[in-house]
């Protein structure tokens, strides 16, 4: 089976909903990362065999976002593209699908990624039993269709099962913000971010150049988090402060057959050593990451102790704490620059953003093995394990 390498990995800043990227469509964000990823790798767009850019909130042009973004980025019309949706696992699923395509010898160069602009998600109408209802599509995505409950409600159940206190969850969220702020203060992002001039409502570029993530709170305090009220259950412990909030952003990475990369003098950043997709009971959604990690470690023969850095989607503080209790992992290796609790959660892009951050952080720290993992509503999970080149 062909060895797959990662030769380029970039992302936009992640911005809060209805802030800098309000008027910049998801396809524009994706196109920017596509152009930057190919430029950095020194690969001509016409040499790419497939574009896979995921998106969760697929309405209008977002329904075929990968194709639109590819054409906007200057890729030839002959390069096919598709847009998967696997809820919060979408960004990692794109990486897995691209890897499988190369391993199957269908392609030798694949661009993968994810993009989301929650700010531009429309309200929709639905006629049921003669009644017209307004639907918030973000709320629809965050509601489990089997349980008929918000995903956060399942995390409340998880917090109860693992005896997680409100204070523990708030402190975890606070530390995520602190790590993110510290990283930003020391310019710890290195080469992973591509700067962007957002669009205005008339479609013209602003003069402002967005170079930093907009989510982390510099003055976040535990007392502030303590004032938030439970969102999903009366008397509960899960609040807006210890949950990730929707955000806007995009990321892209280029995967190649290692032999072709080396023949073309393209320097790899990392090898894809393994990947896993899993399912668990919808009520245990937050624990899907546990099964995904165990599956990919068994597949590759590594132990959790062998992993130098872990990027795990922080959908909720309670979900992260429960996963930590199950795996007994070393917390100093996990989300070292903060996570989605601080940055925000662009649903379809977060998985790829994690992989981008992981790849560059391994290089900065001289680490060898990295693991990106996520869970998603309805009980989905995905993981990708890489080795720095």
Residue 144 lies in a domain: no
C-beta atoms surrounding 199 within 10 Å: 17
Residues in the chain with pLDDT values less than 70: 60-62, 123-135
Q: State CA 185 to chain mean position distance.
A: 22
Residue 132 lies in a domain: no
Between CA 315 and CA 377 the distance in angstroms is 10
Q: Which of 88, 89, 315, 374 is catalytic?
A: 88
Please report the pLDDT score of residue 159 as a whole number: 98
Residue 159 lies in a domain: no
Number of domains in the chain: 1
Please report the pLDDT score of residue 55 as a whole number: 97
Determine if residue 130 is left, alpha or beta; phi over 0 gives left, psi from -120 to 50 gives alpha, anything else beta. Answer: left
Is 375 a catalytic site residue?
yes
Between CA 189 and CA 205 the distance in angstroms is 24
Q: Are 17 and 119 in contact (CB under 8 A)?
A: yes
Please report the pLDDT score of residue 186 as a whole number: 85
β partners of residue 312: 373
Please report the pLDDT score of residue 184 as a whole number: 92
Please report the pLDDT score of residue 105 as a whole number: 97
Q: Are 328 and 295 in contact (CB under 8 A)?
A: no
Is 345 a catalytic site residue?
yes
Domain enclosing residue 258, as ranges:
4-122+181-216+243-388
Q: Which of 55, 89, 315, 375 is catalytic?
A: 375
Please report the pLDDT score of residue 173 as a whole number: 99
125-149 core/surface letters (b: 16 or more CB in 10 A; e: else): eeeeeeeeeeeebbeebbbbeebeb
Please report the pLDDT score of residue 87 as a whole number: 97
Q: Which of 15, 345, 360, 374 is catalytic?
A: 345
Residue 163 lies in a domain: no
Residue 141 lies in a domain: no
Between CA 114 and CA 116 the distance in angstroms is 7
Q: Give me 11's structure tokens.
A: 């992302």
Residue 168 lies in a domain: no
Please report the pLDDT score of residue 124 as a whole number: 59
Is 374 a catalytic site residue?
no
C-beta atoms surrounding 274 within 10 Å: 21
Residue 306 lies in a domain: yes
DSSP 195-215: -B--B-TTSPBPS--B-S-S-
DSSP 33-72: HHHHHHHHHT--GGG--EEEEE-SS--GGGGGHHHHHHHH
Determine if residue 163 is left, alpha or beta; phi over 0 gives left, psi from -120 to 50 gives alpha, anything else beta. Answer: left
Residue 85 lies in a domain: yes
Query: DSSP label at 274?
Result: E
CATH of the domain at 266: 3.40.47.10
């Amino acid at each position: 089976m062909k060895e797959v390498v990662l030769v380029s990995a970039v992302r936009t800043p992640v911005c809060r909903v209805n802030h800098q990227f309000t008027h910049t469509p998801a396809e524009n964000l994706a196109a920017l990362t596509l152009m930057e990823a190919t430029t950095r790798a020194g690969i001509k767009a016409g040499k790419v065999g497939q574009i896979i850019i995921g998106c969760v909130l697929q309405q209008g042009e977002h329904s075929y976002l990968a194709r639109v973004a590819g054409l906007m980025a200057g890729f030839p019309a002959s390069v096919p593209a598709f847009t998967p949706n696997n809820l919060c696992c979408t960004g990692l699923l794109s990486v897995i699908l691209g890897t499988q395509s190369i391993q199957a010898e269908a392609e030798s160069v694949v661009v993968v990624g994810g993009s989301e602009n929650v700010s531009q998600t429309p309200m929709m109408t639905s006629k049921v039993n003669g009644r017209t209802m307004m639907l918030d599509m973000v709320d629809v995505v965050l509601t489990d269709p089997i349980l008929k409950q918000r995903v956060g409600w399942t995390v409340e159940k998880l917090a109860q099962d693992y005896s997680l206190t409100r204070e523990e969850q708030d402190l975890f969220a606070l530390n995520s913000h602190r790590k993110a702020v510290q990283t930003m203060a020391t310019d710890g992002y290195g080469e992973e971010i591509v700067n962007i001039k957002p669009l205005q409502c008339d479609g013209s570029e602003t003069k402002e150049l967005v170079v930093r993530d907009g989510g982390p709170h510099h003055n976040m305090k535990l007392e502030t988090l303590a004032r938030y009220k439970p969102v999903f259950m009366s008397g509960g412990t899960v609040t807006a402060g210890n949950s990730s909030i929707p955000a806007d952003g995009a990321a892209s990475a280029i995967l190649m057959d290692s032999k072709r990369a080396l023949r073309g003098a393209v320097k790899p950043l990392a090898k894809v050593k393994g990947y896993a997709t899993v399912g668990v009971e919808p009520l245990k959604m937050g624990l899907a990451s546990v099964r995904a990690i165990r599956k990919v470690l068994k597949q590759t023969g590594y132990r959790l102790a062998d992993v130098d850095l872990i990027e795990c989607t922080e959908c909720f503080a309670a979900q992260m704490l429960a996963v930590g209790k199950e795996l007994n992992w070393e917390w100093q290796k996990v989300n070292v620059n903060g996570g989605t609790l601080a940055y925000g959660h662009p649903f379809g892009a977060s998985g790829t953003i994690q992989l981008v951050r992981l790849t560059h952080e391994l290089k900065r720290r001289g680490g060898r093995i990295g693991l990106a993992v996520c869970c998603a509503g309805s009980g989905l999970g995905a993981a990708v394990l890489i080795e720095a080149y």
